[in-house]
């Protein structure tokens, strides 16, 4: 099943069960939202999950692009991405958690054809404020899916305080038959989170029950594709194939480096497509950091490499996939201007470092001085010093 078939299987399943399709939002949250980027499918729906009526009703489904930079150093392994897409379903005060789990099981087994014997679930085991999620445990048991009770991983809390118990569905990716549990064997890959949003977390850590109880589910599209296409990494799926093959041809590198280049440049294109421009603060800084990390990785092998070589259809195809309006030449222009800025900064940095005398290892004070006097960011100085040996 390729990307578009997987997306339509998901959406059609929920449409057939009374859910209306919502259009995915931009990576830039609504004004007043304290978070820099949209981090999950439910994020743009926050006001509706808090009780405001949604114009399309109380059963929704959709695909949402999300950006998370909390695991930046993990990018390069088989599954971590900064930009990813979440397939989601929502019940805004309509059906409750158990119904959502039953829908989930049916879709995974019948729609996606994943053998039920490869599934495992986890449910919330309880903490000092909220009891164990016995209802979800019972549903999974009735469905014949083995279930494990955990604490921390099965409490979901979002950036704006909405929270609740989370039941996660895992799929076995090792050689069958499955062994152990999600908590004890990493070959169980987390596929789909079903969150019963029942509380608002208050600043003092206590939980206030919500008047409207909702369900929010989110399934990472890339991981789903990895499982359905029986690949060992998200980068080996059809979704990433154009990026992986084009960059491998242009800029051969080790597996980890290639994945970092693909992930960061693809994210850079999409963030730019949503209207962000490189800057030293906020969203622009995240974009700058991703592009510079990609360029640093590219230039480690050959400083002559340039984003000017990124094929136009690759950038254009990505913007089309995410239904973004800027043309590829506008986005490529932003990337190239940032590349030039970074090249100039590196040249200046090397010149400054060849003239100043620094301690070994360099001190915090020296790094501060270099930043203030010469505008050289500490991480750049560290890179350049490492380069000098
Ligand atoms: N909010 C949950 C998540 O982020 C499910 O959508 O995983």
For helices 312-321 and 328-355, angle between their N-to-C axes, nearest 10 degrees = 120
Total Cβ atoms within 10 A of residue 264: 26
pLDDT tens-place string over residues 160-180: 789 999 999 999 999 999 999
Helix H or strand E encompassing 83? strand 83-91
Q: How far is the CA of 284 from the centre of ligand 1 (A)?
A: 25
> With a 6 A CB cut-off, is 82 part of the ligand 1 pocket?
no
Does residue 307 register a pLDDT over 90? yes
Is the CB of 218 within 6 Å of ligand 1? yes
Under 8 Å between Cβ of 293 and 261:
no
Structure-token pair, residue 4 = 């578009």
- Give the ligand 1 atom nearest the CA of 39: 4
Cα–Cα separations (whole angstroms), residue 359 to 353, 362, 372, 389: 12, 5, 18, 14
* DSSP 8-class letter at 30: P
Percent of the chain with pLDDT over 70: 100
Give CATH 3.30.930.10 domain extents, the chain: 3-232
pLDDT at 158: 81
CATH of 3-232, one of 3.30.930.10, 3.40.50.1980, 1.20.140.90, 3.10.450.40: 3.30.930.10
Per-residue buried b or exposed e for 102-135, using 16+ beta carbons within 10 Å of the residue's own CB? ebbbebbeeebebeeebbbbbbbbbeeeeebbee
Ligand 1: residue whose CA is nearest its atom 2: 218
Q: For ligand 1, say whether the CB of 88 is within 6 Å of any of its atoms.
A: yes
Give the mean model confidence (pLDDT) for residues 186-192.
96
Query: pLDDT value at position 328?
Result: 95
Pocket probe mutation, ligand 1, options 42, 64, 87, max atoms within 8 Å of Cβ: 42
CA–centroid distance, residue 193 to ligand 1 (Å): 6
pLDDT digits (tens, 9 = 90+) for 75-95: 999 999 999 999 999 999 999
């Amino acid at each position: 099943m390729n990307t578009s078939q997987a997306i339509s299987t998901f959406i059609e399943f929920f449409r057939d069960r009374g859910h209306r399709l919502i259009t995915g939002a931009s990576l830039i949250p609504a004004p007043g939202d304290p978070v820099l980027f949209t981090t999950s499918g439910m994020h743009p729906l926050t006001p509706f999950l808090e009780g405001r009526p949604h114009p399309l009703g109380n059963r929704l489904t959709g695909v949402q692009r999300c950006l998370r930079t909390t695991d930046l150093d993990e990018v390069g392994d088989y599954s971590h991405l900064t930009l990813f897409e979440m397939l989601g379903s929502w019940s805004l005060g309509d059906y409750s958690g158990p119904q959502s789990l039953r829908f989930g099981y049916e879709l995974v087994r019948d729609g996606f054809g994943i053998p039920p014997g490869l599934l495992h679930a986890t449910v919330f085991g309880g903490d000092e404020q909220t009891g164990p999620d016995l209802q979800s445990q019972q549903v999974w048991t009735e469905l014949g899916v083995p279930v494990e009770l955990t604490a921390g991983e099965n409490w979901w809390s979002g950036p704006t305080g909405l929270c609740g118990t989370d039941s996660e569905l895992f799929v076995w990716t090792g050689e069958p038959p499955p062994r152990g549990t999600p908590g004890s064997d990493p070959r169980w890959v987390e596929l789909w989170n079903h969150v019963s949003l029942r509380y608002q977390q208050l600043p003092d850590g206590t939980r206030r029950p919500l008047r409207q109880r909702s369900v929010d589910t989110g399934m990472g599209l890339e991981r789903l594709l990895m499982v359905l296409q029986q690949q060992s990494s998200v980068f080996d799926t059809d979704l990433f194939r154009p990026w992986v093959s084009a960059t491998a041809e242009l800029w051969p590198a080790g597996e980890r480096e290639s994945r970092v280049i693909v992930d960061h440049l693809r994210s850079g294109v999409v963030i730019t497509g949503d209207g962000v421009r490189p800057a030293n603060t906020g969203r622009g800084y995240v974009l700058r950091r991703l592009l510079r990390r990609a360029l640093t990785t590219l230039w480690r092998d050959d400083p002559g490499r340039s984003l000017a070589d990124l094929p136009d259809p690759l950038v254009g195809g990505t913007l089309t996939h995410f239904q973004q309006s800027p043309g590829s030449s506008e986005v490529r222009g932003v990337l190239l201007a940032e590349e030039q800025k970074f090249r100039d900064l590196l040249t200046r940095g090397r010149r400054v470092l060849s003239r100043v005398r620094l301690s070994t290892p360099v001190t915090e004070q020296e790094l501060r001085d270099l930043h203030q006097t010469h505008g050289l960011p500490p991480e750049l100085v560290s890179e350049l010093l490492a380069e000098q040996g």
